[in-house]
């Protein structure tokens, strides 16, 4: 009895502390971004920021980058992982170990190496903002890999593929009408992780001199810190709402019945967005 009681107290304390750690910076940046000393609540800073000529293009650019990065990661990783799970399971541990290398290599080292290599070989390549896509694919690889891998482990891939083949389905149809639909939750998780990371990535973009949304935030934060705080808060809350919408729909689907394999539920994503808060 008392054991269970003290455990629930510990749980409560942990929850409150974690909640505070999570909420205090948000509340602080909200109060900083949406108030002015003389006026109280105000939308002036954010209106100024949005009115800035850089805002629209840079937001769109970042969204495009996020979309392209996600598509490229999926195109690269889904077939690879499906193949590994079906045909070469013993290579999975090696692939997994390789997938965390981007965590180990600092972004600065990555970009300097690439910079040097491309300047010498294809000097034009790095001038386009979309040259960031390959870097972002590498950067998001560890998380996207894990999300997809978890999703594949949650289904009995081999049996489903065999069943589909025995019903006369060729490999391509099986991939699109059996494998992908059952990976849905994992695909959502992976896409959201990838979006959040790209929408918050500052270091690579600024080193390669590209104007993305996080770069805009930092720039605007230099003269108008309140606007930057307000915008990053909106970004975080927006991401969070998007997540809730998706997971909420996932839950509704599950309640209605169809198997939603227990792939990683993407609650961690907003926390993995440190660069946005740098500017606040």
Residues that bind other proteins (CB under 8 A): 155-156, 159-160, 162-170, 173, 178, 181-182, 184, 257-259, 261
- Of the pair 144, 154, the CB lying nearest other proteins is at 154
- Of the pair 181, 248, the CB lying nearest other proteins is at 181
Write down the least CB distance from residue 74 to other proteins, Å.
18
| Three-state secondary structure of the chain | CHHHHHHHHHHHHHHHHHHHHHHHHHHHHHHHHCEECCCEECCHHHHHHHHCCCHHHHHHHHHHHHHHHHHHHHHHHHHHHHHHHHHCHHHHHHHHHHHCHHHHCCHHHHHHHHHHHHHHHCCCHHHCHHHHHHHHHHHHHHHHHHHHHHHHHCCCHHHHHHHHHHCCCCHHHHHHHHHHHHCHHHHHHHHHHHHHHHHHCCHHHHHCCCCCHHHHHHHHHHHCHHHHHHHHHHHHHHHHHHHHHHHHHHHHHHHHCCCCCCCCCCCCHHHHCHHHHHCC
- Of the pair 1, 172, the CB lying nearest other proteins is at 172
Write down the least CB distance from residue 30 to other proteins, Å.
40
- Of the pair 181, 274, the CB lying nearest other proteins is at 181
Write down the least CB distance from residue 160 to other proteins, Å.
6
- Of the pair 120, 172, the CB lying nearest other proteins is at 172
Write down the least CB distance from residue 86 to other proteins, Å.
12
Write down the least CB distance from residue 171 to other proteins, Å.
8
| Residues making up the chain, counted from first to last | 280
- Of the pair 24, 259, the CB lying nearest other proteins is at 259
- Of the pair 113, 181, the CB lying nearest other proteins is at 181
Write down the least CB distance from residue 81 to other proteins, Å.
19
Integer Cα distance of 33 and 277 in angstroms: 12
Write down the least CB distance from residue 148 to other proteins, Å.
17
**What is the torsional sign of CA 57, 62, 66, 72?**
positive
Integer Cα distance of 179 and 151 in angstroms: 10
């Amino acid at each position: 009895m008392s054991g269970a009681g003290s455990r629930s107290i510990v749980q409560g304390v942990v929850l409150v502390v974690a909640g505070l750690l999570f909420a205090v910076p948000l509340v602080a940046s909200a109060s900083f971004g949406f108030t002015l000393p003389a006026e109280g609540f105000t939308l002036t800073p954010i209106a100024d920021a949005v009115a800035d000529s850089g805002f629209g293009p840079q937001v769109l650019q970042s969204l495009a980058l996020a979309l392209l990065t996600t598509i490229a990661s999926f195109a690269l990783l889904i077939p690879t992982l499906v193949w590994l799970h079906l045909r070469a399971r013993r290579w999975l541990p090696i692939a997994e170990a390789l997938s965390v290398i981007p965590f180990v290599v600092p972004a600065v080292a990555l970009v300097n190496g690439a910079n040097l290599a491309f300047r010498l070989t294809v000097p034009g390549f790095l001038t386009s903002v979309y040259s960031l896509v390959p870097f972002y694919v590498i950067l998001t690889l560890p998380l996207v890999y894990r999300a997809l891998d978890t999703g594949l482990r949650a289904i009995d891939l081999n049996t489903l593929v065999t069943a589909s083949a025995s019903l006369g389905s060729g490999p391509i149809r099986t991939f699109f009408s059996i494998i992908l639909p059952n990976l849905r939750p994992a695909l959502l998780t992976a896409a959201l992780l990838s979006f959040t990371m790209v929408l918050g990535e500052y270091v690579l973009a600024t080193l390669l001199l590209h104007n993305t949304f996080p770069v805009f935030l930092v720039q605007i934060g230099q003269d108008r810190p309140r606007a930057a705080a307000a915008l990053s808060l909106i970004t975080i809350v927006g991401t969070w709402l998007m997540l809730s919408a998706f997971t909420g729909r996932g839950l509704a689907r599950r309640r209605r019945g169809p198997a939603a394999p227990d792939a990683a539920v993407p609650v961690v994503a907003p926390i993995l967005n440190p660069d946005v808060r740098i500017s606040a």
